[in-house]
Amino acid sequence: MAVDTAFWCERVRTCFTMFSKHPSSLQHLLLFGPPGSGKTTSASWLVDQIWGNRKSLMCISMNAADERSLESIRQKVFPFLRVDWRTEQETAPRFLILDECETLTEAAQLSLQTMLNAEPTDICVILICNSQSRIHPKLRQRLLKIRYDPPNRNQDVTDMVTAMTRGDLRQCARKSEMEQRLWRYLNGHPSHIQEWIHEDTTDLQMILTELLLLLDMFQIIDASLMERMNLVYSMLMDSTTLHDVMETQLIRFIQECKQKIDGVLLKT
């Protein structure tokens, strides 16, 4: 599948490149943004990168605007979930892609909760919509949200490694929200990080996503970090987990990432 990934905004391109290289880092996704920003194309590209010519067996894709009822979900999606064509050696997830999912009825949306109970390393659910506000809150809180910027084919592709270094972040007089968070990951004192994650506007799932992007950019993802990240993510998704326990694990993960990145920066 020939796709001009330079057309995607930097955030999307980096996320999906990482997912294609490290399928074990995948979570259930909610892709949202204006029409023409590359949501459907990037989801299809990801499946193609992972499964190639076996894509038709490993992915089911539906346009919810055409089939928005609970019955459509039951008739098309559930049979796909029951049949697994992977071999014992194939560990990448199968995919369920629902485009224009904001048009699903409430009952149909809520029926997807069963699929979200599955590990994303087994079945990765990708919901696509123009506005996340029309997705049921019970679904939104269980999905890793990736926002797409309006299409701009004339936008220059910037060097993310340069943009993420400490020097560049410190020199920016006006930092973007993402840059401010990245600066906190790299420079924040543990006590300040604890205060920060208590803020109402802090999206804990976004923290995990951006930490993974940083680790991937510096090429320091290892089994230990992936294991800790998956532990923290499972705690975020489990409402029975004590908040203090989850918070401790998240801070520990941030500190471990910071130590790894510091080690790389000291060598440069």
Of 127, 106, 105, 107, residue with least CA distance to 116: 127
Helices and strands (H and E) in the chain: how many: 14, 5
pTM score: 0.62
For residue 151, count other CB atoms closer than 10 A to its CB: 16
121 in the same domain as 22: yes
Domain presence at residue 107: yes
Within a domain: residue 154? no
The mean-pLDDT minimum among 197-201, 231-235, 264-268 falls in 264-268
pLDDT, position 138: 87
193 domain-assigned: yes
173-189 mean pLDDT: 61
Cα distance between residue 79 and residue 255, in whole Å: 43
| 155 found inside a domain | no
One domain for residues 138 and 261? no
Whether residue 164 sits in one domain with residue 140: no
CATH number at residue 21: 3.40.50.300
Pair (169, 128) in one structural domain: no
Task: Quick: pLDDT tens for 13-45.
Answer: 888 988 998 888 888 999 998 887 889 999 999
Q: Last residue of some domain: 147, 181, 214?
A: 147
- Work out the pLDDT band at 268, boundaries 50, 70, 90: low
H or E element in which residue 30 lies: strand 29-32
Distances (CA, A) of 208 to 4, 85, 104, 254: 27, 31, 29, 9
- Domain C-terminal end among 97, 126, 147: 147
Q: Which of 87, 112, 147 lies at the terminal end of a domain, its last residue?
A: 147
Q: Does residue 175 form part of some domain?
A: yes
Q: Are residues 198 and 139 in the same domain?
A: no
Do residue 82 and residue 132 come from a single domain? yes
Binned at pLDDT 50, 70 and 90, residue 265 comes out as low
Range of the domain at 215: 160-267
Are 118 and 87 contained in the same domain?
A: yes
Question: 10 with 140, same domain?
Answer: yes
Is residue 81 a part of any domain in this protein?
yes
pLDDT of residue 157: 33
Instruction: Please give the single-letter amino acid code of residue 105.
Output: T
Q: What is the pLDDT of residue 49?
A: 93
Instruction: Tell me what pLDDT residue 196 has.
Output: 72
Same domain, 130 and 170: no
Residue 153 forms part of a structural domain: no
Q: Is residue 220 part of a domain?
A: yes
Where does the pLDDT of residue 128 fall: very low under 50, low under 70, confident under 90, or very high at 90 and above? Answer: very high
Name the domain count of the chain: 2
